[in-house]
Structure 1
Amino acid sequence: MFNIPALTWTLTAVLLAGGSYHLWQAARSHHLTDRVNNTLHALMNALMAAMLWNLAPSTTLAQIGLLAAAALWFIIQAVARPEFKLLCAGTQGRLKCAYHALTMAAAALMIAMMTHPTTSPAPANGSQADGMPDGMSMTMPHSHHAMTAAPHNTAPDTATAAAAAYGHAAPAILLTVFFAAAAATFLTLLLRRRAMTNSAHHQAATKHSTRTEHALEALGATTMALMFATMTA
């Protein structure tokens, strides 16, 4: 996805670390809903890491379906009545589940956008266009074949590519801003929580868990913002 190997490896490490933490939380949790939620987060992180390396493109529809189902699951929790005893309790919990639903939906959208990348028309000899990211032709082999089969229709292809680029850039910009704001919010909560817990001398386990959660959310939002930012060009 990126032309900078160091950035790709860094984001991969962050995603895999976050996924491992969620798997560990799922394994140690005694609540079924917590196990499901953490497992879904681990799955999303794994799919995002795989997308960075263009792995398993043949399972794209299954990935989008799983993430869409996960988004629906978090929406159900966010709007569920209190007597159902689900994870999202109170205003803060419902907002948290609503944010996680948006995150899952955004991940599904990202995979869908990467499945249909914006490319310039292929030259007449069928060679790959300059500046195309590595692995892009692997993602869309049929589209590439279709473009090389009709080299004379360059004007319609250019218009189509321009329209697709605009269609991709608009949601990518909005989601970049959204996740950048989310990262700043979680970072603020992390710093605020640290100040509050230091002054109130809360229990060490609760303090560590809350700070870790906020740090993980901030890292995840930053990662999503960076990945969507690369799709705005």
Structure 2
Amino acid sequence: MFNIPAITWTLTAVLLLSGSYHLLQAMKSRQLTDQVNKSLHALMHLLMAAMLWNLAPSTMLAQIAVLTGAALWFIIQAVARPEFKTLCADGHGRLKCVYHSLTMAGAALMIAMMGHMSTAGYITAPSDGMAGMGGMTMSHNHHPMAAPIETTAGVSMDHSPALAILLTAAFTAASIIFIILLLRARPTKNTHHPRSDHRLSLRAEHALEALGAAVMALMFTTMTP
């Protein structure tokens, strides 16, 4: 799928625009926790865009470590005591932090799976020189490795296709849920009312989450058999 330049450039543009939006929101926020959270989202989108073009493959382990740390950070927020108001204090906030932890972990796993596929010979660079997911082709003449690739966490990647299918389904479902929430959060008639501004912000957030989940699902689809 990603040997089609139009798809690669479209996904790259979506990821870079989403990352820029999160970075802008981080700069506008006055709360430190929110600044960190938005910055982590911006970084995740940047790393995913770089993965499409196989940029900086030598830093793969560092990317996985950063994204794994980000996933743990969101889990910590999700289980934090209600007294910590700057973290995920209410039920809605906790659920959102759990989902954001899933997205960070999914991005880290995607990078690890891409590294495994490249090492195992499932991905070969096409003749025009384009590499990575943006120019990958599936090789049918590869030789299986004698032993499975182990990630830095010590998890075998033998079952990566099944895991990719599971995550594709999960992010597809998430995208549908966010689209439903987007449609339900209709703006009020009074555009100058504070509640109207909140609803517009909420709609933008739901739209961004739906788009991000769809991109994750699409990228995991390329890793299924």
How would you bin the TM-score normalised by the shorter chain? 0.7 to 0.9
In structure 1, the partner of 2:80 is 80
- Counterparts in 2 of 1:60 and 1:130: CA distance versus 1, 3 Å: closer
Q: Segments of 4+ in structure 1 off by > 4 A?
A: 118-121, 128-131, 158-161, 199-202
| Alignment gaps of 5+ in structure 2 | 133-141, 149-155
- Equivalent positions of 1:45-60 (< 5 A) are 45-60=45-60
In structure 2, the partner of 1:25 is 25
Q: Distance in 2 between matches of 1:113 and 1:9?
A: 21
- Equivalent positions of 1:40-189 (< 5 A) are 40-117=40-117, 119=120, 135=131, 157=144, 167-189=159-181
Contact persistence 2:172–2:214 (CA under 8 A): yes
Q: Distance in 2 between matches of 1:129 and 1:221?
A: 27
Q: Distance in 2 between matches of 1:160 and 1:134?
A: 29
Q: Distance in 2 between matches of 1:15 and 1:94?
A: 25
- Counterparts in 2 of 1:75 and 1:158: CA distance versus 1, 3 Å: closer
State TM-score, norm by structure 2. Answer: 0.82
For residues 17-58 of structure 1, what are the alpha-carbon distances to aligned partners after superposition, in whole Å with 9 as ceiling and x for unaligned? 110000000000010000000000000000000000000000
Q: Distance in 1 between matches of 2:91 and 2:207?
A: 21
Superposition deviation, residue 198 in structure 1: 3.6
Larger Rg: 1
**Bigger mean CA offset, 183-192 vs 84-93:** 84-93
- Counterparts in 2 of 1:62 and 1:208: CA distance versus 1, 3 Å: same
Contact persistence 1:80–1:86 (CA under 8 A): no
**Bigger mean CA offset, 12-21 vs 79-88:** 79-88
**Over the residues paired in the alignment, what is the CA RMSD in angstroms?**
2.8
In structure 1, the partner of 2:135 is none
Greater fraction helix: 1
Contact persistence 1:179–1:225 (CA under 8 A): yes
Q: Distance in 1 between matches of 2:99 and 2:87?
A: 14
State TM-score, norm by structure 1. Answer: 0.79
Aligned letter for 1:209?
S
**Bigger mean CA offset, 109-118 vs 31-40:** 109-118
Q: Distance in 2 between matches of 1:20 and 1:165?
A: 32
Contact persistence 2:70–2:101 (CA under 8 A): yes
1:226 aligned to which of 213, 218, 221: 218
Identical positions, percent: 62
In structure 2, the partner of 1:9 is 9
- Counterparts in 2 of 1:108 and 1:76: CA distance versus 1, 3 Å: same
Aligned letter for 2:45?
N
